[in-house]
Amino acid sequence: MSSTPTKSAVSSPDRIRGIQRRTLGVLSGAQIVGGVGVAVGLALSSVVVDELSGSTVISGFAGTATVLGAALLALPIAKVAGRGGRRVGLALAYLAALLGCLISVTAIGLANWPLLLAGLVLVGGGSAGNLAARYSATDLSPPGHAARHLSLVVWAATIGSVAGPMLAEPADRIGLDAGLAGKAGPFAFSALAFAGALVIILSGLRPDPLKLARELDGTPPAAKGGNRTIRTGWLSLRAAPMARTALVMIAVSHTAMVSIMSMTPVQLHHDGSSLQVIGLVISLHISGMYVLSPVVGWLADKAGRVPVLLAGMGLLLASAALAGTAGHRLWQVSVALFLLGLGWSCGLVAGSALVSESVPLEGRTAVQGLSDLLMNVCGATGTIIAGAIVGGLSYGVLGLVVGVMVTAAGLWLAITWRRRST
């Protein structure tokens, strides 16, 4: 007699809740470990490129490379997930990041900044995986709980992401002792972290939440071949105006965040701050991104997605104003970076929940892939412009430009929401 459970047994509410708890635990574990990998490289990438290239403008391409890599991998991850489930999609992301870290270690040893940028593109797979994991948390969420479940997985990245930058200096010392070039050790450490995240996903994400959700809903997996991911995503967005609105707000939040964040280490480095101080500021920023995300998720479920999105725009505006007027005041830069992370959290959590609930399950992975593609393309563009602004003008002007952008987005959202409410 077969020991395979019947559909009714699998679909019982208690069974689904148990599977969802396990899914959230596995995704959270991968976020913690993968968050270390992302954050260690994030803290030093622009500084290393600045030193190897001797150009502040080129240093801005470090952030561009990782964000661009996350954008380029967004649709392949969504396409693979649409066919084979979340497990294989996330595994692809972390494997790409692992390979990118190994290339980065080699590039630093050769003092080859173009090769380092190429490696950082693949390192962006770590960010793509962490972003995709948040959507994986919503596949089996009961109605009215998507933002909270999503935010729990986002919050799990706090441990790794906050600790990661502080591990950059010890990892560098260990790397030097092991014979690696200066500042290559942190990227070797990131490679080990991404390998750990890969193992967690491959061994732990069973049953696959997306496969199970489709089985319960009677929705078939995505078809093979062609550009179905893009086509399905656009068709789903055309029928879901709130999803389109959410995508714009996610993209604006991410662009504002990466533009200021990517150039802050360079600004601090030029002001004479040590790696330890730079790591501390980035840790404060990342804590703003993740520590309060469960509160943000609860508010998004209770108060509504749009009010939380508007609050996020306000926080991003405050951050841009503080950063742009900080001068050499380290405490003001630190506060600005914390608020920058918190504003990003509001945009990501509320916006992602709104995306997931606004489209049917059949087109969900495609729209989610387009969402991550859009936010990262906008983010990559933002880092290019940010590098040019800081290199040609100043860090203060960057704060002004970002402030104007988020103000315009916030006003557009408020007007759009009011029109739809009347």
* Fold exhibited by the domain 14-219+229-421: Growth Hormone; Chain: A; (1.20.1250)
pLDDT tens string 290-345:
888 899 999 998 888 889 999 999 999 999 999 888 777 777 888 899 999 999 99
**What is the three-class DSSP state of 221?**
coil
pTM: 0.77
CA distance 163 to 287: 9
pLDDT at 414 over 80: yes
pLDDT digits (tens, 9 = 90+) for 11-53: 677 788 889 999 999 999 998 898 888 878 776 787 888 888 8
H-helix segments, 271-394? 275-290, 293-302, 305-324, 330-358, 364-392
Burial of 220 from C-beta contacts in 10 A (0-12 / 13-18 / 19+): exposed
pLDDT at res. 226: 42
- The more confidently predicted of residues 270 and 417 is 417
pLDDT by residue (tens digit) across 52-84? 888 877 877 787 788 788 888 888 898 888 888
What pLDDT was estimated at residue 274? 67
Q: Which two tokens stand for residue 296?
A: 């943000």
Residue of 229 and 104 predicted with greater confidence = 104
Residue 238 CB partners (closer than 8 Å, separation 6+)? none
For residue 295, CA distances in Å to 147, 298, 302, 315 come to 10, 5, 10, 15
In SS3 terms, 77-91 reads as HHHHHHHHCHHHHHH
Condensed to tens digits (0 to 9), the pLDDT of residues 172-201 reads 899 899 989 888 889 999 999 999 999 999
**Domain residue spans of the chain:** 14-219+229-421
Dig out the tokens for 412 from the structure.
Answer: 């557009």
Helices (H), 85-112: 86-110
- The Cα 70–Cα 229 span in angstroms is 17
Residue type, 139: D
pLDDT greater than 50 at residue 247: yes
